[in-house]
């Protein structure tokens, strides 16, 4: 199942269709004026579409599929982060006092998840275990999924992105979301970044692919 989803998401035309779906949701429905349930029904699939576009780019860059634990976690968290809106809907302002969106809709969540993942990776490598643990894959998937969520959120309504440093509401122009998804769709194998750590991916797949598709890099490292 995940293999099928990931293979489809990695196609650039699929990225274009998913992006058009998200834009159509915003332009045609005016979901901001609707009640909580209707907003969720329209907005969350567009969040999932945004995460699939980002996952597709990660797969193209890596030229292989991620561990499905990472992939499912990324897709799930791109939607589930919005659970933090529920207390306010029931009248409890414990997560939203003075901010346009909950405190957990802020950069610190991504930083905390990434830091926790890095600590886990540090101890894994230190104990001589190159394979990522389930714990690391879950943390990394959550960090990427929530990042995908924020790419859309920050361009569709204000959020206190820098909380707790400041409550100030941050909103990017909608065109920045269009540009961001356009650039993400253009991302291909040549865009490989060192920060996309091998540890997020299934090492067995990666090693198998590497010897077939990256003979140059192997020779380079042997020199």
Give the interface with Zn ion as residue ranges (CB under 5 A): 82, 153
**Nearer of residues 161 and 201 to Zn ion, judged by Cβ:** 161
Dihedral sign from CA coordinates of 156, 158, 161, 163:
negative
Nearest residue to Zn ion on Cβ basis: 153
Strand partners, 159: 170
Smallest gap from Cβ 160 to Zn ion, in A, equals: 12
Could you tell me which residues come within 8 angstroms of residue 201 by beta carbon, excluding any fewer than 6 positions away? 62, 64, 65, 66, 67, 70
Smallest gap from Cβ 145 to Zn ion, in A, equals: 12
Smallest gap from Cβ 13 to Zn ion, in A, equals: 27
Contact 166, 185 (CB under 8 A): no
Smallest gap from Cβ 164 to Zn ion, in A, equals: 18
**Nearer of residues 26 and 153 to Zn ion, judged by Cβ:** 153
Long-range interactions of 174-180: CB distance < 8 A, separation 24+ = 174/26, 177/151, 177/152, 178/23, 180/151, 180/155
**Nearer of residues 58 and 106 to Zn ion, judged by Cβ:** 106
DSSP 79-112: HHGGGGGHHHHTT--TTTTTSSS-TTSSHHHHHH
Structure tokens at 118: 């890095």
**Nearer of residues 9 and 154 to Zn ion, judged by Cβ:** 154
Smallest gap from Cβ 84 to Zn ion, in A, equals: 8
Could you tell me which residues come within 8 angstroms of residue 69 by beta carbon, excluding any fewer than 6 positions away? 134, 137, 138, 141
**Nearer of residues 67 and 153 to Zn ion, judged by Cβ:** 153
**Nearer of residues 136 and 153 to Zn ion, judged by Cβ:** 153
């Amino acid at each position: 199942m995940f293999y099928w989803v990931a293979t489809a998401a990695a196609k650039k035309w699929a990225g274009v269709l998913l992006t058009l779906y998200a834009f159509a949701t915003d332009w045609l429905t005016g979901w901001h004026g609707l009640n909580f349930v209707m907003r969720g029904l329209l907005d969350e699939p567009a969040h999932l579409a945004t995460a699939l576009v980002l996952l597709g780019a990660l797969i193209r860059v890596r030229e292989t599929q991620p561990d499905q634990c990472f992939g499912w976690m990324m897709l799930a968290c791109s939607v589930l982060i919005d659970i933090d809106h529920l207390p306010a809907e029931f009248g409890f302002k414990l997560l939203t006092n003075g901010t346009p969106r909950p405190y957990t809709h802020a950069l610190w969540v991504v930083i905390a998840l990434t830091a926790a993942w890095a600590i886990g990776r540090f101890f894994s490598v230190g104990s001589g275990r190159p394979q990522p643990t389930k714990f690391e894959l879950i943390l990394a998937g959550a960090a990427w999924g929530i990042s995908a969520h924020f790419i859309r959120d920050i361009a569709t309504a204000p959020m206190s992105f820098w909380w707790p440093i400041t409550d100030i509401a941050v909103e990017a122009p909608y065109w920045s979301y269009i540009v961001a998804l356009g650039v993400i769709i253009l991302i291909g194998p040549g865009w490989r970044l060192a920060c996309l750590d091998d540890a997020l991916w299934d090492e067995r797949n990666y090693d198998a692919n590497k010897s077939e598709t990256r003979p140059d890099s192997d020779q380079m490292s042997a020199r």
